[in-house]
Amino acid sequence: MTSDPPKRSLLADPAYLEIIDKLFACNVGEYISLPQLVVVGDQSSGKSSVLEGLTKLSFPRDSGLCTRFATQIIFRRETHMSKRDIEVSIIPSSDLEAADADKLRAWKRSGAEALEQKDFVSMMKEVHELMGLSSSPNDGKPTFSNSVLRLQISGPEEEHLSVIDVPGIFKNTTPGLTTKEDITMVRNMVLRYMENPRSIMLTVVPANVDIATQEIVELAKEYDPTGERTLGILTKPDLVDKGAESRIISFLESQATTVKLGWIVVRNPGQQQLDNPQTDRDAEERTFFMSSPWNQLPPGCFGINALRDRLQELHSSITRREFPAVRIELGKKLASSRDALQTLGKERETAEQQRQLLLDVISNFQQIVQHALAANYGSLKAFDDPDLRLATLIVSRNISFAQDFLTRGHIYAFQTGCSQEDVSPDSEAPNENEILATPPSPTPESIQDSLNPSEPAAQPTSNSTRQTGGCEALQDILSADEEIECSVISGINSWISQLYRDSKGFEIGTFNHNLLSTLMRRQSAKWPALVHGYVSDIIVYVHTFLQKALLASCSDRQLSTNVLSLMMDELVERYRRAISAADFLLDIERAGTPMTLNHYLNDNLQRSRQERLQKELSNKVFTSKHHGPAIQLSDLQQQSHMSNSEHTVQDIHDILRAYYKVSCKRFIDNICMQASDHHLITGPRSPLRLFNPSWVISLSDSSLERLAGESTATKRRRLQLRKEVQDLENGRRALMG
């Protein structure tokens, strides 16, 4: 058979290959999968010798300078050059600090023709030192690096090709040099390159071992089960035992169906040949494959030149095929990285940046507050959250508070018209506990509310004072939920009679003026529970609104939490003021002197007396032929047969009923307008007004840092995303030419 190597084919698309190499140089390969040829194998598989054959360079063989990082070797044809030139640089790992990455990126070396062994050794020592790799046992430095050494070999005779060599996997540690952690790190590094769906795996395996059981072969099958991106490289055929060569040849023939890219056998120089600088590596290899039985191998399946040609073909093919997808994926990744960086918000390293950030958040927050109070819910998407529809929540709670107050706020239901009890003041009256107690389970079908006698009766069921859940941060100031029973249906006259009798003095036909205060305070005994439940609910609405509005204003949960935490003491103080205002109003209405200038009192009083009179005379009415319903004058002059005390109790009832209605309506308005609206919603000291520019300006630099300063994780993430965006933007410029 002929020993001439197959003729090399010139590639038609060197521009694509150059762009991909530029993407690698921009570190784009850290973020998206790039088409590449990756040399993988064990440490003793002969990878270095294969690379020496491809590059015509003598790699250092000192065990301390063995491959401890990935090496990208790029071949470029430059017809304008008269001789070969080698440029060496470092692509920093993406996980390095900016200063360390810049230091590696700035390092460059170049040399003509070839690097002499001593020069290569000196350069590799320098690279190891720059990468911060271990130089002596137990010096605390890492043994391997994720940075990439880049060798670009240019010249008039070179063909366009790019290959990445990664450290060889190993199972046993070298004392003082490698550790068990290094075994895992190298394995993960190799797998990261192998799992790239756009990579061609060049699996290097010695021919003098059981090839099928080699770990690198098993890994290649795992990541490429169809064998479409695995090219096998057999080394050390000269070490195969005599008579076992046929086994290797049979293996190569059988692999044609499982490894679609096939296998190539390469014979590397032995130690004796390496020591002789006059040795012609390629000539020695050709002579070896001309001998029997290796001359049975078909052309293209052996020799370093055949391997180089095959690599050029594969590199060109995969680059052309994947280039459009790479362009699309790079654009998507760049947009995604920009969005992630935008999500972190503006940088806030300095006090000025932190203060400006808070002022921007305040602007957004106040906009939400304004729209929420105006019920302009269509203006912002944030109002899809019902907890931010503050005006609606407040109005609904005001209405339910008024309804509960009017229907359940009084202990005893007032009588309408003529009393159904006619209880004598001298009769035995129930004790105070019995009077003020609420029946545990009322049995009548309805309870007539004398405040609104024309409305249907309410069903006698229990009702809670609270309509919101708890708020853990405010448990100390919020009132507990209580059950408010319906008003007692009957017994008000007996109750009034008892209190009248207990307070009776020397009055003639009248009653002690202090009696009305006592009756009012006892009749309104359920007011505090209703009011405290109502105010607590409003506080919960406001506090929940603050929490969610802050988060919607900055989209940074930690920042919004920090702001709320720093304002918490002042917020609680403002909540307490609202509760104090409610207590103040309760004290005035229940413990103060009954007083009103509202004519509605007299209107109610006269209406009660007229209703009673009409009811008493209803059976005296007759129909007049000329005047319709009429009553005789003598009937109007008819004297009631009630005693003075009975008349007085009846008057007290009517006066209490009239005044209670005036006080109740006045009190509801005052609570809603003062304790709720003024102190909690729209007043100048409302909690909604606390987060303002003045509050931010008053913060010290240390407070600003605690409040708005970025966490270490966020700073690291921001730096990472900035570098990612920069690398991808550089890659996009490389794509655009």
Q: What is the pLDDT of residues 2-57, one digit of tens each?
A: 444 444 444 446 788 888 888 988 889 889 999 999 999 988 888 888 988 888 87
Rounded mean pLDDT of the chain? Answer: 82
Lowest mean pLDDT among 243-247, 461-465, 553-557: 461-465
- Is residue 165 within 8 A of residue 47, CB to CB? The reply is yes
Given this model, what pLDDT does residue 644 score? 66
- Asked if 554 contacts 364 with a C-beta cutoff of 8 angstroms, the reply is yes
Largest Cα–Cα distance in the chain? 151
248's CB contacts (< 8 A; 6+ apart) are 207, 234, 237, 240, 265
pLDDT given for residue 527 in this prediction: 95
Asked if 252 and 226 touch (Cβ cutoff 8 Å), the reply is: no
Predicted local distance difference test score (pLDDT) of residue 68: 84
Least confident residue range of 132-136, 270-274, 331-335: 270-274
Look up tokens 């390092």; give the residue: 107
Q: Which of 463, 679, 701, 485 is nearest to 582 (CA)?
A: 679
The per-residue pLDDT for 634 is 66
pLDDT at 439: 36
pLDDT at position 635 is 65
As given in the structure block, the two tokens for residue 537 are 């609910």
Cβ–Cβ under 8 Å, residues 371 and 379: yes
Tally Cβ neighbours within 10 Å of residue 719: 12
What is the DSSP pairing of strand 199-206 with strand 230-235?
parallel
| Strand, coil or helix: 172 | coil
What pLDDT, in 10s, does the model give residues 685-708? 999 999 999 999 998 988 888 888
CA distances from residue 692 to 369, 385, 676, 685 in whole angstroms, order as listed = 12, 23, 21, 12
Residue 417 confidence (pLDDT) = 55
Q: Is the pLDDT of residue 437 over 70?
A: no
> Which of 501, 540, 495 lies closest to 520 in space, CA to CA?
495
Average of per-residue pLDDT across 503-516? 74
Determine how β-strand 108-112 pairs with β-strand 85-91: antiparallel
DSSP symbols for 20-81: HHHHHHTTGGGTS---EEEEEEBTTSSHHHHHHHHH-------GGGS--SEEEEEEEE-TT-
Strands, E, within 449-518: which ranges? 463-464, 483-484
Best CA proximity match to 594, nearest among 512, 529, 536: 512
Rg value, the chain, Cα: 47
Residues above pLDDT 70, as percent of the chain: 85
Query: Looking at the chain, which residues constitute the CATH 3.40.50.300 domain(s)?
Result: 14-341+730-735
Look-up of token digits 């309410």: 458
Burial of 3: CB neighbours in 10 Å, binned 0-12, 13-18, 19+: middle
Q: For residue 430, what pLDDT is reported? A: 34
For the ranges 326-330, 427-431, 627-631, 676-680, the lowest mean pLDDT is seen at 427-431
Q: What integer pLDDT is reported at residue 694 of this predicted model?
A: 92
The answer to whether residue 450 scores a pLDDT higher than 50 is no
Q: Which long-range contacts (CB under 8 A, 24 or more apart) does 431-438 make?
A: 432/498, 435/491, 435/494, 435/495, 435/498, 435/522, 436/411, 436/522, 436/525, 438/411, 438/485, 438/486, 438/488
Separation of alpha carbons 204 and 52, rounded Å: 14
The residue type of 683 is G
Contacts of 95 (CB under 8 A, 6+ apart): 146
pLDDT of residue 281: 85
Q: What is the C-alpha separation between 717 and 709, in angstroms, rounded?
A: 14
Helices (H) and strands (E) in the chain, counts: 23, 13
- Identity of the residue numbered 605: L
Q: Please say whether the beta carbons of 663 and 596 come within 8 A.
A: yes
Confidence of residue 205 (pLDDT cuts 50, 70, 90): very high
- Which of 3.30.365.10, 3.30.70.2190, 3.40.50.2300, 3.40.50.300 is the CATH number of 14-341+730-735? 3.40.50.300
Asked if residue 623 has pLDDT above 80, the reply is no
Contacts of residue 438, Cβ cutoff 8 Å, sequence gap at least 6:
411, 485, 486, 488
Q: Where are the strands (E) in 625-693, listed by range?
A: 628-630
- Structural tokens at position 378: 């269509």
Of 267-271, 360-364, 481-485, 489-493, which range is least confident? Answer: 267-271
- Between helix 98-106 and helix 712-735 the angle, nearest 10°, is 30
Peptide bond into 293 cis (omega under 30): yes
Q: For residue 42, what are the β-bridge partners? A: 169
Query: Does the predicted TM-score (pTM) go above 0.75?
Result: no
In this prediction, what percent of the chain has a pLDDT beyond 90? 34
- Amino acid 108 reads K
Q: How far apart are CA 511 and CA 650, in angstroms?
A: 11
Q: What is the pLDDT of residue 5?
A: 44
Q: What does the alpha-carbon distance between residue 356 and residue 354 come to, in Å, rounded to a whole number?
A: 5
